[in-house]
Homo-oligomer: A and B are copies of this chain.
């Protein structure tokens, strides 16, 4: 397997598949066995196991085998890290817009404190 230079690669790659997102969705409601994760998915059991391996490699899911059942749980911190990456870029963009707005306000001061519409 190829090693990810950036861990975000693994996280966003794992999130990029609808079957894997459905597994995450299921696990957000509580731990589940591999069979439970597989039940709603229309694919072979080994295919589900492979998806699970991707989720586990990314750190999104942790599993632990008890007897013959593998129990899977969500690791919410990893989802947070992805959220933070997105938030950071989005807010950088937003701040830039705010600065631009302030600059325009300074350069060209507000003429009338009207609320409804501008005309002329």
CB of B94 within 8 A of CB of A76, answer yes
**A89 in contact (CB, < 8 A):** yes
CB of B16 within 8 A of CB of A64, answer no
**A36 in contact (CB, < 8 A):** no
Q: Which of A4-12, A40-48, A107-115 contacts B (4 or more CB under 8 A)?
A: A4-12
CB of B29 within 8 A of CB of A92, answer yes
**A98 in contact (CB, < 8 A):** no
Residue of A5, A16, A25, A88 contacting most chain B CB atoms (<10 Å)? A16
Binding site for B on A (CB under 8 A): 5-6, 8-9, 12-13, 15-18, 21, 24-25, 27-30, 64, 74, 76, 79-80, 82-83, 85-90, 92-94, 96, 120
